[in-house]
Chain A
C-alpha cells in the first residue's frame, strides 16, 4: 500500500477516535455511551491493524485483535449486561452545560497539539501526527470523568482514556512491547470485574448510580 494513502487513512481513523470522544461528551443516555465506546474501540482496532500492515510490525496484529476482543466485544458486553441487570438502560443523565464542555474539549485538543509538537518533530513514523490526537482523547476522557456524575459514565470516560493511551502507544512507537500490552490488557480486565462489582455495591447502598449522592466524606468540620 502506498505510504501516503496509509498515512491518510491512519489520520482519518484517528480523527474518528477523537470524534467519538467528543460525541461521548455530548451524549446523555447511558446506553448511547456504550455504543459510542464500541465504535471508538473498533476504529482503534482497525487503525492498529493498518499501522501493523504498513509498518510491517506483526505484533500489532495481536494488539489489534486484543483491542477488538476486549474493547469491542467483551467490555461493551459486560457494560450492557450490567445496565440491563441494574435496570438503568433508559437512564438519562442530567449533564451540565454541554456547549461549555465541548469548548473545553476543543481547547484540550489545541493544547495537545502544542504539547506534543517537540515529539512530532523528532519522530519519523508515518503515524506521528496522531500522537496529539491520542493525547487529546486521553484528556477528553479525563474531562468526562470530572464533569459527569454517573458511575457508568465515569467508567466509560476511564476506558476512553485507556483507548487514547493505546492510540498513543501505536502512534508514537508502533506499539509497546507485547508483554507490556498483554499486562495492560490484563489490568483492564481486572478493572472491569471490579467496577462491575462496584456498580452493584453502589446501587444497593445508594439506590442509584449517581456519584453525586456519595458526598459523606468531607474534610473535618
Chain B
C-alpha cells in the first residue's frame, strides 16, 4: 500500500503539473508533490524498520535494507531539489532561457524522473528494473536540452545515444540472466524476480552468468558514468539546468549502481569466484584516476563537479567490487553522503553561476564578500566532497581505504593518488572563486539556502554520529551483499 502511494504521488504530480503548466503555482505544486513522496518514503522506511524486509503487490515489489535507504534518499533529495528549483527556474524563465512550454515540460518530467527512479529501486523484477532505468534516461534527455542552445542539444543527443547503446547491452545481459534462470525456475515472470533468483543463485549456470555480467557491467556501468563509458556525463551535467544536474549526479548514478550491485550478488552466488568483483574494481579504479586527473583541466564549474561525480561513483564501485564487510559498509555510506554533498554543491554552483551569469570558473569571483552564505556553502561543500574530516565522506573513504590496505594492499597507492589529486584540483579551483574582491558584473539574487545547509548538516552529522537505524540497515545490507 505504502509503495503504491510512494509511486503514485510522483506520477499524479506529473499529470497535475503537465496540466497546470507554466502557471504561478507550478513550482509550489512540484515541492508539494516531492514532499508528499518524501513522507511516503519515511512511511516505507518505518515499515521496514519495524517489520524487516517485505514483498508487496504479488512479489512485484521488494523492499529490504539495501533499497529502502536509497528510496528515502531519492525522495529526500528530490524534495530539496524542488525547493531549490523554485527560485532558480523562475529566474531562468525571467532571463528568457526557458519558455512556458519548457517550464511545463520541466516540472512534469521532473516528477516522471522521480517516479522512474523509485520504480527502479523498489521493483523485484530485473526486467522491470531495466525498463524503469530506460524510462529514467528518456525522461531526462529532453530536460538536458531544455535551453535549446547548440551545446545543450549536442549534450542531450550524446546522452540519448550513448545511454541508449549502453542500456541495450544491459538488456542483452538481462536476457542471458533470464536464460540461466529459466532452467532452474521454469519460465514465466517468476524467473526474473530477484528474490527468487537470489535463493537459487548457486544453481544458475556460472558460464552464462559470467557472460551476462559483462554485458550488465557495460550497460549499467554506462549509466553509472564509469570510465571509459563516461563521455555523456560531463556534457549532460554541464549543459542541462542545474536542478537536473543535481538529481542526475546525486540520484540517477546511485540508482544505476544499485542495479549493478543487485546483479553482482546473483553472479557471485553462481560463480563463487571474485571475478565480477575484480571487473568492478578495475572499472572503479580507472574511473577514480581518470576523473581525478581530468578535474585539473576543467574550466566550466559544472563540468568540474561532474568529473568529481565520476570519481566518487568510481570509489563506490571499487568498494563494492572489493567486497567484504568494511568496504561494502563504506560503499553504502559513500553513496549516501556523496549524493547529499554533491547535490548541495550543485545548488550553490547554480546560485554562483546565476550571480555571475556564467559557468566559467575564471569569471566567478569574490563569493565570500559578495554573498557569504553562497561562498561558505560552496567551501563546505568542497571540503566535504574532497574528503576532509569531520564530514561523512571522510568516514566512508577512510573505511574503503582501510579495507583496501587489508585486502588489496598493492592498490592502496593508486587509490590514495586519486584522492590527493582530486583534493588538490578542487581546492585550487575553488579558492579563487570564493575569495577576492567582488567583480563588477556580480549581481545580488535571492536564493534558497535551506536545501544547501540541510544537506551539509546531514553530511556533517553522518561523519560524527551514525544513527542507529542507519547502522542497522547498513549491517543488514552488508550481510545481504556478502
Contact = CB atoms under 8 A, between A and B. Distances in A.
A186 B148 CA distance: 26
B172 A205 contact: no
B111 interface: no
A184 B171 contact: yes
Given A115-B211, A206-B150, A219-B297, A123 B157 contact: no
B154 A173 contact: no
Nearest to A177: B189
A153 B66 CA distance: 41
B165 A145 contact: yes
Q: Size band of the B side of the interface? A: 35 or more
Interface stretch (B173-181, B394-402, B404-412): B173-181
Interface in B251-302: 294, 297-300
A3 interface: no
A195 B130 CA distance: 20
A211 B171 contact: no
Interface in A159-199: 161-162, 165, 168-169, 172-174, 176-180, 183-184, 186-187, 190-191, 194-195, 197-198
B179 A173 contact: yes
Contacts of A61: none
A174 B187 contact: yes
A154 B211 contact: no
A151 interface: yes
Given A174-B187, A176-B175, A184-B131, A214 B207 contact: no
Given A115-B211, A119-B176, A220-B297, A154 B161 contact: yes
Interface residues of A, number: 47
B318 to A, nearest CB: 24
Interface in B116-152: 125, 127-128, 130-131, 134-135, 138, 141-142, 145, 148-151
Interface in B165-207: 165, 168, 171-172, 174-176, 178-179, 182-183, 187-189, 191-192, 205, 207
B207 A118 contact: yes
B156 interface: yes
Contact of A119 (B145, B154, B164, B179): B179
Nearest to A217: B235
A220 B175 contact: no
Contact of B161 (A145, A173, A206): A145
A197 B172 contact: no
Interface in A84-131: 115-116, 118-119, 122-123
B239 interface: yes
B160 interface: yes
Contacts of A118: 207-208, 211
A168 B131 contact: no
A191 B164 contact: yes
> Among A119, A180, A201, which residue has the most Cβ atoms of chain B within 10 A?
A180
B131 A187 contact: yes
A138 interface: yes
Contact of B138 (A142, A154, A190, A220): A190
A173 B174 CA distance: 11
Contact of A197 (B142, B165, B188, B235): B142
Contacts of B128: 179-180, 183
Contacts of B207: 118-119, 122
Contacts of B134: 184, 187, 191
A158 interface: yes
Contact of A172 (B131, B168, B175, B191): B175
A25 interface: no
A186 B131 contact: yes
Given A154-B161, A179-B128, A180-B125, A165 B154 contact: no
B40 interface: no
A201 B172 CA distance: 31
> Among A115, A173, A202, which residue has the most Cβ atoms of chain B within 10 A?
A173
A12 to B, nearest CB: 22
A146 to B, nearest CB: 9
B129 to A, nearest CB: 10
Contacts of A174: 187
B262 to A, nearest CB: 16
B174 to A, nearest CB: 8
Contact of B156 (A115, A158, A179, A198): A198
Given A158-B165, A183-B127, A214-B153, A205 B148 contact: yes
B382 interface: no
A206 B154 CA distance: 10
B171 A177 contact: no
B327 interface: no
A47 to B, nearest CB: 16
11 contacts: A119-B208, A123-B179, A138-B168, A161-B165, A165-B175, A177-B187, A177-B191, A178-B189, A216-B151, A217-B238, A220-B300
Given A178-B189, A220-B298, 16 more contacts: A118-B211, A119-B179, A122-B205, A165-B168, A165-B175, A172-B178, A173-B175, A173-B187, A180-B131, A187-B135, A190-B135, A191-B134, A197-B142, A201-B153, A219-B294, A220-B299
Interface of A: 115-116, 118-119, 122-123, 135, 138, 142, 145, 151, 154, 158, 161-162, 165, 168-169, 172-174, 176-180, 183-184, 186-187, 190-191, 194-195, 197-198, 201-202, 205-206, 211, 214-217, 219-220
